[in-house]
Structure 1
Amino acid sequence: MKRWAIAFLLLLFPFLAIAQNFEDRWTGHFSYVSIKDISQGDNKVFVGAENAVFTYDLSTQEIKTLSTVNGLSGDFITTIHYSEEYGLLIIGYENGLIEIVKDGEENVLKVVDILEKQTIPPDRKRINNFNEYNGKIYIATQYGISVYNLERLEFGDTYFIGDGGSQIEIVQTVVQEPYIFAASAANGMRRALVADDNLIDYQNWTTIINGGFRAAEKLGNELYASNRSNTILRFTPQGATNPVNTFSTEVLKFRLADGLLTITTKNSIYAYSEGFVQQAAVNNVLGFDLNLLSGYGFGNNFYIGTAEDGLLIVPFGTMQATQVLPNGPIRNKSFALDATPGQLWVTFGEVDRDFNPFFPDGVLSRYGVSHLKDTLWSNISYEDLNASVGGEPTDLLKATINPQAPNEVYMSSFQGGLLKIVDDVPTILYDDSNSPLERVIIGSDDAGVRIYGSEFDNQGNLWFVQSKIDEGLIKLTPNGQFQKTDVSVLFNPASDLALTKLALSRENYIFFGTYKNGVIGYNATTNKFNKIGEDSGNGNLPSSSVRALAFDSQNRLWIGTLKGLRVLYSPGSIFEDGTVPEAQAIIILENGVAQELLFEQSITDIEVDGSNNKWISTATSGVFYLSPNGQETLLRFTKDNSPLPTNNVQDIAIDPFTGVVYFATTQGLVAYKGTATAPSDNLENVHAFPNPVRPGFNGNVTIDGLTAQANVKITDITGNLVFEETSEGGSVLWDTTAFGKYKVRSGVYLVLVTTEDNVETKVSKIMIIR
C-alpha cells in the first residue's frame, strides 16, 4: 500500500475503502460514448463517461481508460475534477460516493462518508459539482455543501444552508473573495464570508436573490449564473443582477479555464472572456448531430461532451471536429451475448421482468449492436440496421452465431422478427412481410413478431421460438426454408407472455422455456411434446417462469428460473409415455446445514465451459462458478469483490478457444480470463503457462490444448509423480504442489499427456523457479 494511502487510512478508517486493481485477470469493455463531465490539467483532458473515465494526453494524443477493472465503482458518474496542485482526480457519483485517483498510483480511494451518512436520504446524496479553493474542495450536493481537505484527505464540515438549517440542493459553489456563493436548484443564490469559521451555521448565509439556478461561475471579478429560465445573470458586488443573455435551450454547465467562461447548452457551446465578451461558439459540427451533456473551452479549442458520440474537439472558429472515443461497445446496458473463437456479439434490447418490450418509457428500444473481433469493437447503429433491412429491428434480445459460418449471426427482435447479419452487414429482417412469420394483434395492440430463444443444431438448422402464436417453434434451414411446429398441444401460447430461452440436447431434442408454463420438450423425430412445470409431481421446478437453459457435457439439462435452479438428469425421459420427470434441486452443505443451491435466486443465464463447470448469472447476486455437479462453488463474483459494476448480470458468453468469460450487466460489459477451454481434436498444441514459473507466483499453472478426457501426469526430472488429473475439457490446472501437500522445489517438471484412447501422447516441460 502506498504511503499516502496509509496516511489516509489512519485518518479515516471507518469511511475508507481502497479498491483493488484487477487488470491481471479482467478486461473492461465499457462504453464511453456518453460524456457526463470534463476536467483538465497537466496538459491532459479528463473525461467522465457514464460509469468510467478516460484521459486524453494533449501532447501525445494517448488515451487511457479507468473502469471497474482499475478499481472504480461502476456507479453512475455525475461530475469530475482534476486538481493540478495535488495531482488528484476526484470523481463524484449519483449515489454520493466519491473516488480519488492519484497520479501514478494504481489504487483508487473510495470516500464513503456521504454514501453511508444515515441522516441524508438516499435520494439526496447526488454529487453535483466540485469547486477547489485554498486546498479544499467544496462539494455541491442535493443536500447542501460538504468540505473536503485535499492535503490531509479528510472531510471537514457539512453545511445545511436552507431555511432553518434544512437540506436544499446546491448545484454549484463559487468563491469570489470575500464571499462563497451557493447556487441552489430552487432556493435562490446564497452567500457567506468564505473566511468565516462558522459556515456550518445557516444563519451566516444570506439569500441575495430568490429562484432556482442551473449553474454559476466567476469570470474576472464578476459572478455569473444561469437561472431556471436559462437567462444568464451578472451579479454586482452589491448583489444586484443584470441579465446578459438568454438561451433557447437548457443550460447544462458552466466551466472556467484560461480566463474563459464556457457555457454548455443541450445543443451548443460558448466561450466568453472577461466582461462577458463572446470569443467563440459552436452550434453545428460537420458529421455530428449535437446532443450535449458537458463542455470545456481552453487552449483555443472546445472539448464537447456528447450523449452518443464521445468527446469532440472543435477548434475555435470552425465546425470541424476530432472525435476522441475509446474502443468500446455502443452502450453499457447490454442484454445478450454470444461468442465463438475470437469474436463476441452484443445486443442491447430491453424488456422488463414480464417481457414487456415497451420498457422503460412506454416505447420500443431502438439500439444498434456491437461486435468485438479479436481486440477491436465495431458498432452498427440502429439507424444503419433499419436502413439496411428496411424494417424495425427493435428490442434485439438474443444473438446467435452460426457455428458452421462464424461470419453469420442472427439477432432476435422481440417485436420486429429475425435479423440476419453477414460480415458485419445487416442483410435481411425476416418478418410477416417476407417470410411465414406471423404478426400478432392483441385487441387493438400490435404485438409484432416476437422472437427470442434460438440455437443451431448440428445440421446447421437454426431453431427459434416466437411468442403469442400456436406455431411458435420454428426451424430455419441452411437453404432459407422455414418449417413451423404447433406447440399449443400442451398450453395456450397466446396467454403466455413469452417463450424464452432454447437449448438442444445431444440427440437434437429441443427444449424451450416459457414465462408461466415451465419447460417444453420436443422430439422432432416422433413429433412428441411434453413439459415439466412447477411443484413436486409436475416437474418440480421452483417457478414456472424459465429464464435459462443449458445442456452440459453429460447431456444434463440445467434450468434457471425466476426463483431458483434445477437439473434434469435424464432429459430424454420426458418423452416416455405417461411420465413427467422431476427436475432436481442441488443440495449443498453450508456450515453443516443442508441447503438448496441458489434458493430463490432469479437466474438469468447458465453457460457450460470446457471443463463442464457451470457459470450462472443472477439478477441480484452476481455470478456463481460451479463444479460439474454443482456441489462446489469454485468462484463467486459480485460488485464488492470483482470488477462487476453491478450484481445484475443479464447474460454470459465464453470464448471456447481462450476460455475468456464475458459478463453482460446492466451497467457495462466485463471479461474474466478463465482457464477452461474447449477440448482440442489432438495434442499438437499442448502448452503450459505461465512457463517458467517465477519467484512470487502463487497462482495455478494451466496446461492447455488437451483433448477431452486426456490423462495428464506431471513428474519431476527423476520420474516422481507429483500431479495427475483427467481433463474435462481442453485444460487442467496445477497448483504447483505435490498432490496438494507442499510446494514443489525449483527444477524442470515433465508433463505427460495421453489421449483417452491411448493413441496419442505428448510430452511438455515446465520450469519452476522458487
Structure 2
Amino acid sequence: MKRWIIAFLLLFPFLATAQNFQDRWTGHFSYVSVKDISQGDNKIFVGAENAVFTYDLSTQQIKTLSTVNGLSGEFITTVHYSEAFKLLVIGYENGLIEIVKDGEENILKVVDILEKQTIPPDRKRINNFNEYNNNLYISTKYGISVYNLSALEFGDTYFIGDGGSQIDIVQTTVQEPYIFAASASNGMRRAMVADDNLIDYQNWTTIMGGGFRAMEKLGNELYASNRSNAILRFTPQGNTTVVQTFSSQVQKFRLADDLLTITTKNSIQAFSEGFVQQSSVTNVQGFQIDLLSGYSFGNNFYLGTAEDGLLIVPFGNTLPTQILPNGPIRNSSFAMDATPGQLWVSFGEVDGDYNPYPLSRYGVSHLKDTLWNNINYEDLSAAVGGEPTDLVNVTINPENQDEVFISSFEKGLLKIIEDTPTILYNETNSGLEKAIIGSIDAGIRIYGSQFDGQGNLWLVQSKLDEGLIKLTPGGQFQKIDISNIINPVSELALTKLVISREGSIFFGSYSNGLIGYNPRTDSFNKLGKGAGAGNLPSDAVRALAFDAQNRLWIGTLRGLRVLYSPGSFFDQGQTPESQSIIILENGVAQELLYEQSITDIEVDGSNNKWVATATAGVFYLSPNGQETLLRFTKDNSPLPTNNVQDIAIDPFTGVVYFATTQGLVAYKGSATAPSDNLENVHAFPNPVRPGFYGNVTIDGLTARANVKITDINGSLVFEETSEGGSVLWDTTAFGKYKVRSGVYLVLVTTDDNLETKVSKIMIIR
C-alpha cells in the first residue's frame, strides 16, 4: 500500500487516509440524484448525493465508491477528474475534499477547509474545481483556495471581496492572461493569473456587478449566467452582450471538446465557439427532465438528473440510455423490515414530535437477494387510488413473505403483495376512520405493527380512542378502546408495537410511556417516567424489543430500560418497574446508554442487542447488556452519519442493515437465528482462497450446537458452542497460528447429541 506524506501549507498541516471496509460491509446507497459530472480517460465520473460512481465508456462497467470504500458520506457538491494526475477530486457541502487516486485503495481526506476555525461553517461549501497549470482553483463560499495537484498541498487562499472580505465564488476560469471569478452576489472579478500576489484583494478588479450562477470560457470569449438566467458574453475588448435567456434556472456550465455545455433545470445544450448551438435536449423518451448537472462530449449529452441517475443522449436524439447503479430509491431511509433474503425500506418523514407536515411523498424499495426493486410514489398512488404519504413503518408477514404492510402516518395502511401495491386501507374501504379533532382533520395516523402467532396484524393509530387495532387474516378490523389508560386525543403519537411470548401487546407513546394490553383479560397497564411510575427515563418511547428470554427492552428519548417480568405487567394493583442496566466503566458504576436518544432495538440470533441512536451511532450489546461487543460510529465504520433511524436483521445470513438519514449500509454479522436441525449446515467462504483475511462462518446450526474443526489427520484446531445459528472461525489453530493449506472437517453435534453433521472446508494459502 502506497503512503503519501504531505505538508499542507495554507491552513495547518493535516492529512487523513480513509479506511476501506469492503470485507465486512456493503453499501446500499441511492445514486438517483446526480449533483455533478466529470470525465477523463474514457470514463464518466458521477457525484451522487453522498456517493460516487464511474462509468467506463469502453467496457460499460459501473463501479461505485461510498463510505464502504472510505468516502465520508457527507453531501457532495462537485467532482473533478484530473487526467494529468489520474486523480478524482470530490468536494463537499461542509468543506471537506477527498482525493481518489487510480489504482490506490486509500482515499485521502483533505480537512484543512473543514477544520479551519476562522471560516464560518456555512461558508465552507465547495462550489467548483478548475484545473490550470497543475493547480486546482477551488471555488468556495468564502473565496478561492489553490491546491497543487503535483505536490498534493495547498497554496494560497484569496479573499477577494471588498476590503478582503469573504464572498461566495461559484466558479473560476482562466483565460490568459486573466483568471476570472464569478460570485453569487458580488459581481464578476478578474486578476492577472501570473500575479504572485493574488492574495491581495486589491489586485482583483470588478468588471461587472450583480450575481452569477456559472461561468466558463469558450474560444477567446467568456460566458456567464446571471441570477436571472441570462447568458452574458464578455469579449476581449470588454464588450458585454446578452446572447440568450433561459426560462428555467441555469444549473451548470461545463467545457469539454471545445464545447460549452449549459445545463438548466429542464434542458441541456452544447455550444461551439461563437456561441453556435450544436445540439440540445429538452425532452427524452420515458423520462421527465429534472436536471441538476450536465456534460457533453463525443457527440453525446450526459444528463445528471434529480431522480433518475445519469442519462446518456446522443446529439440529435431523444432516446436515452440510463446509467444507474443498483440501489434504493432514496438515501434518507426511515423504517425497514427483513426476512431471509429480502429487505423492505420506507422513507416517510415525521419530525421529532411526530408531526407529519409537510407531507412526504416517497416510494418504497425492496431488496431481494442482491437486487433492488423500487416502487416510486406515483406508481404507489396510481395502484391503490390514494395518497400513501409518510410511510413510517414496515412489517412483513412471517407466514407469507410476499405480503408486506406499510404504515402511513396520515393516510392509513398500505398492503403490497408480490411487489404490487394492492390496497390502501382507509376510511373509504375498511374499518379505519379519520381522527377529527375539532375542525382539524388529523387523518389516519398508523405507526407500529406486528403479527401475532395466529396471523393477526396488530397496529396502533394515533389520535383516536379506539387506537389499538387488530387486522385478522380474513381482512376484518377489530378496534380496542384505549381511552381508559391514556388520553389519545392529547397524545401526539403511538409508536412502536411488539408482542410478548404470551400474546400480550405492548406499544410506545410520545408522552404516555409504555402501554400494555392483555387480550386474554382485556386489561391495560402502563409504565411512566420516574420512580414509582415505572422508572422510565422519559415518557417518549420509540424502540421496543422482546429478547429470547422474553424480556422487554425499552428505548426512550433519554435512555434505555429493561422490563424483566412482562408476564406480571398486568397484575392487579401494581405498577411494574423497569430497570436500568448498570455497568462498570473504568471502575465507576454508570447507567448504560444514559441520556441517549434511542431510535431502535433489535435482537439477533445470539440474543445480543443492536441499539440504534439518533446521535451516537450503533451499540452491539451482550445478552444482558453488561458488555458492549461493538460500537459503530461515523468515525470508525461506513455509517454515513451517527443518526441511525432503524435496524433490521436477516435471520438466515446474520446481515445487519442500518437505516440512516444519509444512506443504508449493511454489516456482515455472525449471529443468525438457530435452525431446527442440521440439514443446512454450511461454511462460507469455501474454499478459503489466498488473500482472504476474514473469518469463516459456519452457518445453519441449532441452538447450543457443539462445533469442532479438525485437520484431515483428526487434530483438533477449533471448538465452540453456538449461541445462535452460526459460529466464526478465524482459520487459526486456537488463535495461535494460521492453519496450513488443506481440507478441514467440521463436526457438528446438537445439544442433545441426537443429531450430527460433517462438513468440509478447503483452505488454500
Which category describes the TM-score, using the shorter chain as reference length?
Answer: over 0.9
What CA distance in whole angstroms lies between the structure 1 residues aligned with 2:700 and 2:328? 30
What CA distance in whole angstroms lies between the structure 1 residues aligned with 2:720 and 2:569? 35
Tell me the residue number matched to 1:530: 525
Q: Which amino acid aligns with 2:307?
A: E
Q: Which amino acid aligns with 2:503?
A: N
Tell me the residue number matched to 1:90: 89
Distance 1:500 1:748, change over 3 A: same
CA contact (8 A) 2:431 2:476 kept: no
1:318: how far off?
1.8
Q: Deviations over 1:357-381 (max 9, x none)?
A: 00xxxx2000000011111111111
Q: Deviations over 1:10-36 (max 9, x none)?
A: 999942111111111111111111110
Q: How does 1:233-248 map to 2 (within 5 A)?
A: 233-248=232-247
TM-score (ref. length: structure 1):
0.96
SS in 2 for 1:15: coil
SS in 2 for 1:538: coil
Say yes or no: does 1:594 pair with 2:593.
Answer: no
Q: How does 1:40-439 map to 2 (within 5 A)?
A: 40-358=39-357, 363-439=358-434
What CA distance in whole angstroms lies between the structure 1 residues aligned with 2:690 and 2:476? 60
SS in 2 for 1:494: coil
CA contact (8 A) 1:8 1:152 kept: no
More deviation, 330-339/6-15: 6-15
Say yes or no: does 1:573 pair with 2:568.
Answer: yes
Tell me the residue number matched to 1:619: 614
Tell me the residue number matched to 1:705: 700
What CA distance in whole angstroms lies between the structure 2 residues aligned with 1:504 and 1:58? 53
Say yes or no: does 1:482 pair with 2:481.
Answer: no
Distance 1:264 1:656, change over 3 A: same
What CA distance in whole angstroms lies between the structure 2 residues aligned with 1:448 and 1:515? 18
TM-score (ref. length: structure 2):
0.97
More deviation, 440-449/290-299: 440-449
What CA distance in whole angstroms lies between the structure 2 residues aligned with 1:716 and 1:321? 57
Q: Deviations over 1:187-241 (max 9, x none)?
A: 1111000000000000111111111111110000001111111111111224331
What CA distance in whole angstroms lies between the structure 1 residues aligned with 2:192 and 2:565? 77
1:699: how far off?
4.3
What CA distance in whole angstroms lies between the structure 2 residues aligned with 1:262 and 1:702? 52
What CA distance in whole angstroms lies between the structure 2 residues aligned with 1:727 and 1:173? 61
SS in 2 for 1:203: helix
Could you tell me which runs of 5 or more consecutive residues in structure 1 were left unpaired when the two chains were aligned.
none
SS in 2 for 1:69: helix
Q: Deviations over 1:678-714 (max 9, x none)?
A: 1111112223344566777664443221112223345
What CA distance in whole angstroms lies between the structure 2 residues aligned with 1:645 and 1:520? 34
CA contact (8 A) 2:11 2:116 kept: no
Distance 1:82 1:516, change over 3 A: same
What CA distance in whole angstroms lies between the structure 1 residues aligned with 2:583 and 2:32? 44
What CA distance in whole angstroms lies between the structure 2 residues aligned with 1:739 and 1:539? 47
SS in 2 for 1:493: coil
What CA distance in whole angstroms lies between the structure 2 residues aligned with 1:667 and 1:305? 20
More deviation, 724-733/473-482: 724-733
Q: Deviations over 1:690-746 (max 9, x none)?
A: 456677766444322111222334566776766544322101234556666x34754
1:251: how far off?
1.1
Distance 1:708 1:12, change over 3 A: farther
Identity of aligned residues (%): 81
The one of 620, 634, 637 equivalent to 2:632 is 637
SS in 2 for 1:658: coil
What CA distance in whole angstroms lies between the structure 2 residues aligned with 1:286 and 1:766? 52
Q: Which amino acid aligns with 1:594?
A: A
Q: Deviations over 1:131-178 (max 9, x none)?
A: 000000000000000000000000000000011100000000010000
Tell me the residue number matched to 1:686: 681
Q: Deviations over 1:62-120 (max 9, x none)?
A: 11111111111110000111111111111100000001111121111111110011110
1:609: how far off?
0.8
Q: Deviations over 1:499-527 (max 9, x none)?
A: 00001111111110011111111111111
What CA distance in whole angstroms lies between the structure 1 residues aligned with 2:708 and 2:298? 64
What CA distance in whole angstroms lies between the structure 2 residues aligned with 1:317 and 1:745? 63
1:6: how far off?
4.2
Q: How does 1:705-744 map to 2 (within 5 A)?
A: 705-714=700-709, 723-735=718-730, 742-743=736-737
SS in 1 for 2:442: strand
Say yes or no: does 1:603 pair with 2:598.
Answer: yes
What CA distance in whole angstroms lies between the structure 1 residues aligned with 2:72 and 2:643? 14
1:252: how far off?
1.2
What CA distance in whole angstroms lies between the structure 2 residues aligned with 1:485 and 1:317? 64
CA contact (8 A) 1:12 1:154 kept: no
What CA distance in whole angstroms lies between the structure 2 residues aligned with 1:198 and 1:276? 34
1:388: how far off?
0.8
Q: Deviations over 1:538-589 (max 9, x none)?
A: 1111111001000111111111110111111111110111222211111111
CA contact (8 A) 1:50 1:77 kept: yes
CA contact (8 A) 1:548 1:604 kept: yes
What CA distance in whole angstroms lies between the structure 1 residues aligned with 2:550 and 2:69? 39
Tell me the residue number matched to 1:498: 493
Say yes or no: does 1:677 pair with 2:642.
Answer: no
Q: Which amino acid aligns with 1:669?
A: L
Tell me the residue number matched to 1:511: 506
What CA distance in whole angstroms lies between the structure 1 residues aligned with 2:429 and 2:102? 58
Distance 1:320 1:695, change over 3 A: closer
What CA distance in whole angstroms lies between the structure 2 residues aligned with 1:649 and 1:175? 44
Say yes or no: does 1:446 pair with 2:441.
Answer: yes
Give the aligned length.
Answer: 764
SS in 2 for 1:255: strand
Q: Which amino acid aligns with 2:263?
A: T
SS in 2 for 1:572: helix
1:767: how far off?
6.0
What do you get for the CA RMSD once the two structures are aligned?
Answer: 1.9
